[in-house]
Structure 1
């Protein structure tokens, strides 16, 4: 499982498969791919841009496609996150179905309107992810790099409250999530990737929220 697959599992509602933060979903997904490349030592940051480094094929086509984009032309993280993230929903859903993590249920309402649900198919695996998140945020456990990255991206997108069962929020829980979002863990290059991705996600989420508020008020 890729980091981005774990992240999407946590964002999907277990009953319907509707993702939390759907309007800006491509930001955390693209950010997760960028962070995974950093964990593998295949991207670096210089002068505000993401640069592909290293040689040899990557172990997954999603990672390879993202690395190829970075290798073709160094660009700002936000640009790369958008380019990568906007292409991920369909392939990720198909992969999660193939891996038995979710299933597709198609029905027709009134024999006319087709609806599709994507409920969880492997609650045990997803529960393991939730347990790791909870252990770090609630119990203060030391996170492994992948769990730290997942929490940071969820925190930046404002989607942590969507994790079920709900986390009992406290000042300590919020502080731990923010520390991870700000990159206080792991190697320097990974920290930079997390901070960059989290900042882009936070800006996108805030902009979307402001647009919805203005539209509603009008």
Structure 2
């Protein structure tokens, strides 16, 4: 089956092994696992309008179904845990807050893409965002603290642009909080009509 990825081929050759490893990882972190739950890819995203603010927090605050794929609220069911192995950012520059709230942004990967030409200085058509710091915490524990936004960017246009893969996965347990904060390094405000979307790359129980 040469058309399959090595990961899929390995799962077919060892049925149930990967799923049991995921369940055991959750159990080792003192999380209750329901055996009936299915293991699946769990990309989870949220977005925020940054107009005039010095920092924004995602996966918390005012909930808007138009800009997130979490259903009903930012709190997941108690039986649905997620192992986060990567964090992806998209930016939009030029969509007013009213249109953002309707889900009408045009997203591009990373912080220094065509939507945010901080490296090209293209100020005639678009405004660059200031230098940024990113913090991720869940259930009160800080796993990423003020990581430079440039770590998400690359001059190469590849699928890895805008993505930071974690050396140590983060568990977002059901019924607990998770918050990703994006703040300007110098305390200046984000440009008007500037929006940020964060996507957590994960595997979890559904």
Q: With structure 1 as the length reference, what TM-score do the two structures score?
A: 0.23
Looking at secondary structure, tell me which structure has more strand per residue: 2
Based on CA coordinates, which of the two structures has the bigger radius of gyration? 2
Larger RCO of the pair (alpha carbons < 8 Å, separation 6+): 2
